[in-house]
């Protein structure tokens, strides 16, 4: 949610920011009209309550019929104005919630993802001396990915990870925890069902509502990323300055309806309804959030680059930023079977947009005042997409897959997926 004072004091700047994010700048004028009405009603209500206080003092010594009648009429008028104020406040809040976060000053203007920019490319694209297979062919041949049986059980866009595929997921989890905990990240396994108002406060109920699984009988929704659960964990709290930046790395199953997506991506485990993910989340003061955002990007690059997977860093333009994000970078991993890079990571600085809705602050020791905190998120690993990148980039001519070295300590001694163990030699008699 945007700062009301910012809208009042800098309406043209807010309009410009909304336009850059493809939002309606007329929302500002609508808000200001309602805000003026609300302020007028507030002033009138304050005046009426002051009259009530004065009248109460008079009634303490003089309970004449005239004063009692005035008191009754005044009470009725206070109730009427208060109701009018509440009605306007609801409408004002509705308009305010339609406004996305404003893009940061250094974000390039652009209408959509076609105007995103590659900042740099890292890693060496593999050159195969054999016909490379796609991940699903590899995974099915190794019997570690099974979408056929998942379809029988759950329908389309689900999959089983089996055997070494499941071990690979657990290895990725342990690799992330081993890498990030020394950097100050606290591991969390959060709830995957949250209240609709919490999801709305995180900025996902409007733009992405068609992707959310809603359990209406229980008044709960399923998270599409653990950011939505972890970011709201400190709602209505004031964080101590000495705890900042406060960093978490969360593991959760995530759920997305993937409404409107069709075609090749719906095959296999690239774009599914249920997937596991490790997510970084950070709370930082306003003057430290830009640096923290760069830190999250560096963590993502360390994790993905550490596996030896080629990738590129994408600078997201204003029109492709989600509702809560003020600035965002993506990482895209190389997918040999498609001959292109595909998104595996993103990291966003949401500034004070989410925390303002959730009333999360911190006590500034210099000013002695409570200030709204900034929230940031970044993908550690979306498990399915990372497994896709591993299978394709490290495949071998014999159908096996070389396990990236950082994962081997967590793979029960295995260095290769699909390798047939050498037969054990029999002990000689005598």
**3-state secondary structure string across 47-92:** HHHHHHHHHHHHHCCCCCHHHHHHHHHHHHHHHHHHHHHHHHHHHH
Beta-bridge partner residues of 251: 278
d(C-alpha 378, C-alpha 393), whole Å: 23
Give 113-417's CATH code, choosing from 3.40.50.1820, 3.40.50.10440, 3.30.930.10, 1.10.1510.10.
3.30.930.10
pLDDT tens digits, 373-414: 999 999 999 999 999 999 999 999 999 999 999 999 999 989
Which helix (H) or strand (E) element contains residue 119?
Answer: strand 117-122
Is the pLDDT score of 70 beyond 70? yes
Q: Where in the chain is the domain with CATH 1.10.287.40?
A: 4-97
C-alpha closest to that of 101 among 242, 364, 289, 259: 289
Is 60 exceeded by the pLDDT of residue 57?
A: yes
Q: What spatial distance separates the first Cα and last Cα of the chain, rounded to whole Å? A: 81
Instruction: Quote the strand ranges of 145-202, DSSP E.
Output: 145-146, 160-161, 185-188, 193-194
Tens of pLDDT, residues 73-109: 999 999 999 999 999 999 999 999 999 999 999 999 9
**pLDDT score at 430:** 45
What span, in angstroms and rounded, lies between the C-alpha atoms of 139 and 394?
12
Q: How far apart are CA 412 and CA 403, in angstroms?
A: 12
What is the rounded CA–CA span in Å between residue 280 and residue 345?
11
Range list of β-strands (E), 219-297: 220-222, 238-239, 246-255, 274-284
How confident is the model over 303-332, as a mean pLDDT?
Answer: 97
Q: What are the b/e assignments for 333-343, b being 16+ CB within 10 Å?
A: bbbbbeeebee
- Contact, 221 vs 257, CB < 8 A? no
Domain with CATH 3.30.930.10 in the chain: 113-417
The values of phi and psi at residue 313, to 5°, are: -100, 130
Q: List, for residues 271-312, the tens digit of each pLDDT value.
A: 899 999 999 999 999 999 999 999 999 999 999 999 999 999
Q: Which CATH architecture has domain 4-97?
A: Orthogonal Bundle (1.10)
Percent of the residues in the chain that have a pLDDT greater than 70, as a whole number? 95
User: From the CB of residue 306, how many other CB atoms can be counted at a distance below 10 Å?
Assistant: 14
């Amino acid at each position: 949610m945007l700062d009301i004072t910012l809208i009042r004091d800098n309406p043209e700047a807010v309009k410009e920011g909304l336009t850059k994010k493809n939002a309606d700048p007329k929302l500002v004028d609508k808000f200001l009209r309602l805000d003026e009405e609300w302020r007028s009603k507030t002033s009138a209500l304050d005046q009426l309550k002051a009259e009530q206080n004065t009248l109460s003092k008079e009634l303490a010594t003089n309970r004449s019929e005239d004063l009692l009648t005035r008191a009754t009429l005044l009470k009725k008028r206070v109730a009427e104005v208060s109701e009018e104020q509440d009605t306007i406040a609801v409408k004002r809040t509705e308009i305010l919630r339609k406004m996305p976060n404003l893009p940061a000053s250094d974000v390039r203007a652009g209408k959509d993802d076609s105007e995103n920019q590659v900042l740099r490319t890292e890693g060496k694209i593999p050159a195969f001396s054999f016909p490379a297979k796609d991940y699903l062919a590899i995974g099915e041949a190794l019997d570690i990915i099974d979408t056929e049986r998942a379809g029988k059980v759950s329908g389309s866009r689900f999959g089983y990870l089996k055997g070494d595929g499941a071990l690979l997921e657990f290895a990725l989890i342990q690799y992330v925890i081993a890498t990030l905990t020394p950097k100050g990240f606290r591991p969390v396994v959060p709830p995957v069902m949250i209240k609709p108002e919490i999801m709305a406060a995180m900025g996902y109920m409007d733009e992405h509502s068609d992707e959310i699984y809603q359990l209406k009988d229980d008044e709960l929704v399923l998270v599409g990323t653990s950011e939505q659960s972890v970011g709201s964990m400190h709602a209505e709290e004031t964080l101590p300055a000495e705890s900042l930046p406060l960093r978490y790395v969360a593991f959760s199953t995530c759920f997305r309806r993937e409404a409107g997506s069709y075609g090749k991506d719906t095959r296999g485990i690239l774009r599914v309804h249920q997937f596991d993910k490790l997510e970084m989340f950070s709370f930082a003061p306003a003057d430290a959030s830009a640096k923290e955002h760069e830190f999250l990007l560096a963590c993502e690059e360390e994790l993905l680059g550490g596996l030896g997977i080629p990738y590129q860093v994408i600078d997201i333009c204003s029109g492709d930023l989600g509702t809560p994000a003020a600035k965002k970078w993506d990482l895209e991993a190389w997918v040999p079977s498609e001959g292109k890079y595909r998104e595996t990571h993103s990291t966003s600085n949401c500034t004070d947009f989410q925390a303002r809705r959730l009333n999360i602050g911190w006590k500034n020791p210099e000013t002695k005042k409570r200030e709204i905190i900034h929230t940031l998120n970044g993908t550690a690993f979306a498990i399915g997409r990372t497994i896709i990148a591993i299978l394709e980039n490290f495949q071998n001519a014999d159908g096996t897959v070389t396990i990236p070295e950082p994962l081997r300590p967590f793979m029960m001694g295995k260095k290769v997926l699909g390798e047939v163990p050498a037969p054990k030699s029999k002990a000689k008699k005598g």
